[in-house]
């Protein structure tokens, strides 16, 4: 009688654990509702970065833009800006290229591949009038 | 007598259903404690709606700044919906702007631009909050560059003559008309109050009040209102004494931004925008044009 109970209990525990693990990790996993921007999915992080870059295009406040990128928690935010900009160029993500290039240039990360996307006119020398 | 194992009762050989159910319940409980508390799923691929309040605010600001740049309302709406599914996203933006002002996060010019960006996003959509009109966008300033004229040919100064200099005309006193003083006070004026209000009975009004350092209304102060870059109107305080001695008002046209100045104003002139607002009158939502109260006070030194 005791063996029968213990055996049934063990089988039940094993089945219960299997069900519980499925529920806890797959069906109803923990949902975080107090997350930081650093925990955002990469696509949202990149979208956020582009939004900040677009804001920079309007106000030209590079310190403000870098402050807004701080919550992303990137080890080197300059590298991150450069990498993302070059990736958008390689992917022909046209709407995002212009603001990202402007931001990359503002932080001193304008690379040759970005040159053609610059919106800031390059100052040209005015020839002196000849007599 | 020895019992053959095959002769045992079926109940003794099978499972005990009570024990089985007890085991399943215990197993589920243990597993849930482990998967939810001890080793939960790693936080990754978080969506914007899961952000904390502070980070959500940063996200809303980024959306507003982006909208300022691209003016893509549908895109801004979609981004905000990712933050607050099934809720009024424009109220969310208004709340963020209000919260930043309340918590003293408007210090630098960059902060002011953020408030303007937020307001530029939520107000045209009909939302409102405590940040309304606090930092209105100034009217664009147009600079008239002097047109270079043809190089004048050098002329010799006229020779001195013995013609006597005509006498300087003296001021002729005028009667019948009061000329308001145009001389700014020695200390100048400072903007002491700027607030918006929504009143269908007096919509689109700029109510200007000028006070001296003792708090008394000052009549006869010239008030200049400019809009659309080069449009301008001037009028004087005190022409409606039934209101207040230092009172004057001006009616705005919807969609325009107006800059209000008085002589000797210290600091940048402030601008206000004629945008729609909503107010509840007798239980009904009424749309009107936002009005403003602007007070100038004489500086004490």
Could you tell me if A9 and A69 lie in one domain? no
pLDDT of residue B218: 83
A113 in B contact zone (CB under 8 Å): no
Instruction: Please report, in angstroms and rounded to a whole number, the separation of the first and last CA atoms in chain B.
Output: 121
pLDDT of residue B97: 93
Residue A79 domain-assigned? yes
| Minimum mean pLDDT range among B140-154, B183-197, B244-258 | B140-154
Q: Which residues of A touch B82 (CB under 8 A)?
A: 44
Dist. CA B50–CA A21, nearest whole Å: 23
A44 in B contact zone (CB under 8 Å): yes
Dist. CA A120–CA A123, nearest whole Å: 9
Q: What is the pLDDT of residues A75-125, one digit of tens each?
A: 888 999 999 999 999 999 999 999 999 999 999 999 999 998 887 554 545
Could you tell me if A56 and A112 lie in one domain? yes
**Residue B225, beta-bridge partner list:** B233, B260
The answer to whether residue B103 scores a pLDDT higher than 70 is yes
- Give the confidence band of A18 by pLDDT, cuts at 50, 70, 90: very high
Structure tokens at A98: 């212009």
The answer to whether residue B151 scores a pLDDT higher than 70 is no
pLDDT of residue A131: 46
Could you tell me if A24 and A41 lie in one domain? no
Could you tell me if A107 and A66 lie in one domain? yes
**Residue B259, beta-bridge partner list:** B226, B271
Could you tell me if A56 and A95 lie in one domain? yes
The answer to whether residue B66 scores a pLDDT higher than 80 is yes
Cross-chain residue pair B26–A32, CB shorter than 8 Å: no
Residue A25 domain-assigned? yes
The average confidence (pLDDT) of chain A is 86
Could you tell me if A27 and A56 lie in one domain? no
The answer to whether residue B20 scores a pLDDT higher than 70 is yes
Mean pLDDT for B94-104 is 90
What are the distances in angstroms from CA B68 to CA A17, B54, B113, B149, B239? 53, 21, 10, 40, 41
Could you tell me if A15 and A41 lie in one domain? no
Cross-chain residue pair A61–B113, CB shorter than 8 Å: yes
- Give the confidence band of B301 by pLDDT, cuts at 50, 70, 90: low
Could you tell me if A59 and A12 lie in one domain? no
| Share of residues in chain B with pLDDT > 90 (%) | 18
Q: Which residues of B touch A60 (CB under 8 A)?
A: none
- Give the confidence band of B184 by pLDDT, cuts at 50, 70, 90: very low
The answer to whether residue B174 scores a pLDDT higher than 50 is no
Residue A125 domain-assigned? no
Could you tell me if A27 and A44 lie in one domain? no
The answer to whether residue A44 scores a pLDDT higher than 50 is yes
Element (H, E) at B293: strand B291-298
Q: Using an 8 Å Cβ cutoff, are A55 and B62 in contact?
A: yes
Could you tell me if A108 and A87 lie in one domain? yes
- Give the confidence band of B178 by pLDDT, cuts at 50, 70, 90: very low
Determine the 3-state secondary structure of B180 from DSSP: coil
Residue A128 domain-assigned? no
Mutate to test the interface with A, among B11, B28, B67, B107 (most CBs of A within 10 A): B28
Residue A126 domain-assigned? no
Cross-chain residue pair A48–B19, CB shorter than 8 Å: no
Residue A57 domain-assigned? yes
Q: What is the pLDDT of residues B225-279, one digit of tens each?
A: 888 777 888 788 877 778 888 899 999 988 888 888 888 887 777 778 888 888 8
Q: Which residues of A touch B16 (CB under 8 A)?
A: 4-5, 8-9
Domains within chain B, CATH numbers bracketed: 19-132 (no CATH), 189-298 (2.60.40.10)
Q: Using an 8 Å Cβ cutoff, are B145 and B133 in contact?
A: no
Tell me which residue range forms the domain holding A49: 37-117
Of B43, B66, B69, the CB nearest to A39: B43
The average confidence (pLDDT) of chain B is 78
Q: What is the pLDDT of residues B276-285, one digit of tens each?
A: 888 888 888 8
The answer to whether residue B78 scores a pLDDT higher than 60 is yes
**Phi-psi region at B6: left, alpha or beta (left = phi > 0; alpha = psi -120 to 50):** alpha
Residue A46 domain-assigned? yes
The answer to whether residue B69 scores a pLDDT higher than 60 is yes
- Among chain A residues, the shortest Cα distance to B49 is held by A33
pLDDT of residue B149: 52
The total number of structural domains that make up chain A:
2
Annotate B177-215 with b (16+ C-beta within 10 A) or e (fewer): eeeeeeeebeebbbbeebebbbbeeebbbbbbbbbbeee
Residue A61 domain-assigned? yes
Q: What is the ipTM, given to two decimal places?
A: 0.74
Could you tell me if A56 and A109 lie in one domain? yes
A24 in B contact zone (CB under 8 Å): yes
A76 in B contact zone (CB under 8 Å): no
Phi and psi angles of residue B273, each rounded to the nearest 5 degrees, phi first: -120, 135
pLDDT of residue B8: 52
Dist. CA B137–CA B119, nearest whole Å: 10
Dist. CA B291–CA B205, nearest whole Å: 5
Could you tell me if A17 and A76 lie in one domain? no
pLDDT of residue B26: 92
Q: Using an 8 Å Cβ cutoff, are B221 and B262 in contact?
A: yes
């Amino acid at each position: 009688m005791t063996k029968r109970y213990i055996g049934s209990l063990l089988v039940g525990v094993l089945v219960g654990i299997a069900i519980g693990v499925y529920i806890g990790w797959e069906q109803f996993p923990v949902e975080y509702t107090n997350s930081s921007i650093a925990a955002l999915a990469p696509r949202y992080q990149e979208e956020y970065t582009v939004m900040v870059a677009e804001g920079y295009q309007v106000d030209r406040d590079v310190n403000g833009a870098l402050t807004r990128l701080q919550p992303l928690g990137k080890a080197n935010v300059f590298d991150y800006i450069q990498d993302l900009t070059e990736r958008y160029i390689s992917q022909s993500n046209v709407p995002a290229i212009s603001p990202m290039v402007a931001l990359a240039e503002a932080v001193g990360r304008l690379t040759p591949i970005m040159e053609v996307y610059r919106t800031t006119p390059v100052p040209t020398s005015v020839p002196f009038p000849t007599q | 007598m020895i019992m053959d194992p095959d002769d045992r009762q079926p109940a003794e050989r099978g499972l005990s259903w009570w024990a089985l159910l007890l085991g399943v319940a215990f197993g589920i409980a243990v597993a849930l404690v482990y998967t939810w508390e001890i080793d939960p799923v790693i936080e990754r691929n978080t969506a914007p709606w899961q952000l904390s309040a502070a980070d959500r605010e940063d996200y809303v600001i980024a959306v507003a700044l982006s909208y300022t740049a691209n003016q893509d309302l549908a895109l801004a709406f979609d981004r905000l919906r990712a933050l607050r599914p099934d809720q009024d996203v424009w109220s969310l933006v208004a709340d963020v702007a209000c919260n930043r002002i309340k918590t003293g996060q408007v210090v630098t010019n960059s902060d002011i631009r953020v408030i303007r960006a937020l307001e530029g996003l939520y107000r045209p959509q009909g939302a409102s909050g405590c940040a309304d009109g606090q930092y209105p966008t100034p009217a664009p300033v147009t600079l008239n560059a002097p047109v270079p004229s043809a190089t004048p040919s050098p002329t010799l100064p006229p020779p001195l003559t013995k013609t006597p200099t005509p006498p300087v005309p003296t001021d002729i006193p005028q009667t019948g008309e009061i000329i308001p003083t145009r001389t700014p006070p020695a200390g100048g004026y400072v903007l002491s109050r700027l607030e918006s209000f929504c009143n269908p009975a007096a919509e689109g009004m700029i109510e200007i009040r000028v006070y001296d350092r003792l708090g008394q209304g000052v009549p006869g102060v010239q008030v200049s209102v400019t809009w659309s870059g080069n449009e301008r109107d001037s009028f004087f305080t005190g022409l409606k004494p039934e209101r207040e001695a230092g009172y004057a008002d001006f009616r705005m046209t919807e969609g325009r931004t107006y800059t209000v100045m008085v002589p000797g104003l210290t600091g940048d002139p402030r601008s206000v925008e004629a945008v729609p607002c909503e107010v509840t009158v007798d239980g009904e939502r009424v749309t009107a044009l936002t009005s403003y109260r602007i007070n100038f006070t004489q500086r004490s030194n």
